[in-house]
Amino acid sequence: MNKMKQRFGVFLVIMSMAASMTAASDSAAAKLPKLSKNRVSVQAGKTVQLKLKNVSPKAKVSWTSKSKKIAKITQSTKKTAKIRGIKTGKTTITAKYKLGKIKKTLSCKITVKKKAAKPAVTSPAPVESPTAAATAPASTSSAAPPASSEPDGSPAPISYKWVTTWGTAEEKCDTTKDAMPKMPLTDTTVRQIIRVTTGGQKLRLRLSNQYGESDVEIQSLHLAKQVQADASTIDVSTDAVVKVNGSEQFTIPKGKVIVTDEVDFSVNALDNVAISAYFGAAPTQNITGHRGARATTYQVAGNQVSAEAFSSVKKTTSWFFLADASIWSPDKSKAVVCFGDSITDGYGTDATYLGKKPDSYTRWIDYFAKRLQANESTTHISLINEGIGANSILGSYPTDAGKDRFKRDLLEHDGVAYCIILFGVNDLNSLRDTSKYDQLLPEYQKMIQLCHENGIKVYGAPILPFGTSDYYSEASEEVRTKINNWMRSTDSNLDGIIDFESAVADPQNPKNILEEYTHEDGLHPYDGYEAMANAIDLNMFE
């Protein structure tokens, strides 16, 4: 009997110890690792420390910085990391935690600020010469004239720089039945319409003849505000002459890009600007332009650059020789390059079979621009549309391959601080196997690296579904899924994800775009562009 009591006592002790160990284990499991802070600011040249809490002695921890040029890790242990600010900008510090089957990635947003506030020494009057601007990367242009060093007790003036407010991807536009010139450009006036995404008092243009085999002679070039989005009518009171090196007559040399002189021209965000050019000699083939303007271009005979409205007009929906427009903007202003194919270009926004017309400004970028301007914290953000219909990352149809034009379209603009990449669907057309993934991945990596090397934050947009289109195959869907999963992983080194995919996908069948958005197309979200814009977190651009 005593032996039975002793055995029962031992059993109770063992059970008690087991319960205690289970409780301890449950308690430990409940305390997952976490960073002491999710957001940190540090001055350039200074150091800040991050702590990782609830770290097991047996865990493995690795710390990484997405951009060592902005902030780098100078010292780290399992529990702490010291981060030194290198230059102004934003990046992410990541701690990867591994303990057995537990794997966790934690991130902290790092904002590196200037070493110390410096008094502004500028006024809102640019002094950079257009000749110099045409031969140097314009994205670095922030020159400003010195102001008096005598203090007068007034508020410090705002520092200014050039920032691109509108842009398009240049392509080789050989004349077709649907493109200009309907008649030769020589001795005609062409009025093209652009919509700026930010406002200002001074504007300059970048003009491109990079694919031309002969010079383009401009006899006169004028700016004016468009009165109505679908008409050639301008507000003549806003008419302004554009010059190059002080001359109203100038040449865009074959194979070259030039920058005009700045023009005193007051515009508000989302204004439509008419650019009217009277041509002398001009090429009839290998014309540099952009086919998918989604806005009407008007052509008339003779010099009518200042005419209030055109009659006997010929029309097209392409731009010619325009690369971008920049505004003399407050120093905090930043531009976003939106890089992609026809979905970024806005295909379908002028689809006649759906009752749509040009000049509607219903691309996802147009809706995005409206949201930025409606939000007080993002009115300083401008957008550049670098989408080309039918273009792919690897293929050169209908113009340079995406991998070859990315550097130009990213860096040859002013004030670029962000890039959104929504690109690759044209590389996935009816694939028979998944080998395309291994070809595309290095190109995405090069794009991301180029952005980071130039201090540009890059956001990935997973490829939209296309299950009801002719593009679909099982291999195509598998490659799309692999690319999208990689984008969403920490291995991509992206600064964030903009989830257009979820915004337009059919919840019942995510391989397809919602039918109400794509109709019979299956590939383009005709009526889903606004939903795409609404899916963008504006905090990513504040």
- The backbone torsions φ and ψ at residue 118, rounded to the nearest 5 degrees and listed phi first, read -120, 140
pTM, whole model, 2 decimals? 0.75
The two beta strands, 322-330 and 200-208, are antiparallel
Dihedral angle sign, alpha carbons of residues 329, 330, 331, 337: negative
Dist. CA 483–CA 494, nearest whole Å: 13
Q: Which of 364, 383, 246, 223 is nearest to 306 (CA)?
A: 223
Residue 347: CB atoms within 10 A of its CB come to: 22
Integer Cα distance of 456 and 447 in angstroms: 11
State the DSSP code for 515.
H
Q: How far apart are CA 508 and CA 516, in angstroms?
A: 13
Classify 441 as helix, strand or coil: helix
Record the tokens describing residue 404, joined without a space. Answer: 């070859």
Backbone torsions φ then ψ of 338, nearest 5 degrees: -105, 105
Instruction: Give the CA count within 13 Å in the CB-facing half-sphere of 12.
Output: 6
Three-class DSSP category at 516: helix
Residue with tokens 């759906």: 354
d(C-alpha 78, C-alpha 82), whole Å = 12
Residue 386 has a CB neighbour count (10 Å cut-off) of 30
pLDDT tens series, the chain, 542 aa: 444 445 545 444 444 444 444 444 443 344 788 888 888 888 887 888 888 888 887 788 888 888 887 888 877 787 888 888 888 888 999 888 888 878 888 888 889 888 654 444 343 455 443 433 443 444 434 444 444 444 555 666 889 999 999 999 999 988 777 788 888 999 999 999 999 999 999 999 999 999 999 999 999 999 999 999 999 999 999 999 999 999 999 999 999 999 999 999 999 999 999 999 999 999 988 899 999 999 999 999 999 999 999 999 999 999 999 999 999 999 999 999 999 999 999 999 999 989 999 999 999 999 999 999 999 999 999 999 999 999 999 999 999 999 999 999 999 999 999 999 999 999 999 999 999 999 999 999 999 999 999 999 999 999 999 999 999 999 999 999 999 999 999 999 999 999 999 999 999 999 999 999 999 999 999 999 999 999 999 999 98
Give the chain's radius of gyration (CA, Å).
28
DSSP reduced 3-state for 99: strand
Amino acid code (one letter) for 40: V
Cα–Cα distance between 67 and 65 in angstroms, integer? 5
The pairing of beta strand 257-259 with beta strand 250-252: unpaired
* First and final C-alpha spacing in the chain: 78
Tell me whether strands 200-208 and 263-267 are parallel, antiparallel or unpaired: antiparallel
